[in-house]
Amino acid sequence: MRPFIDADEIWDIINNTSSDRSRVREVIKKALEKKRLTLEETAVLVNTTSEDLIEEIKAGARELKKMI
């Protein structure tokens, strides 16, 4: 029986997804519209290394928390 969560697939997505400024902002915008993020979109956020973008992600998360 194949596991429900394929750890190899998740790591493959994380390891092969890049985060550029515009893409990160697109994903934040989508999250703030209360739309479900794909694994790839989540990986964009996880792979962000820029301190200012990380702050934007945190600010977006705080805003989303207030909305729901």
Q: 6: pLDDT confidence band, cut at 50, 70 and 90? A: confident
Domain edges within the chain: 37-68
Convert the pLDDT of each residue in 35-58 to its tens digit.
999 999 999 999 999 999 999 999
The first and second tokens of residue 11, run together, are 């790591």
pLDDT of res. 5 = 81
Buried b (16+ CB within 10 A) or exposed e, 46-65: ebbeeeebeebbeebeeeee
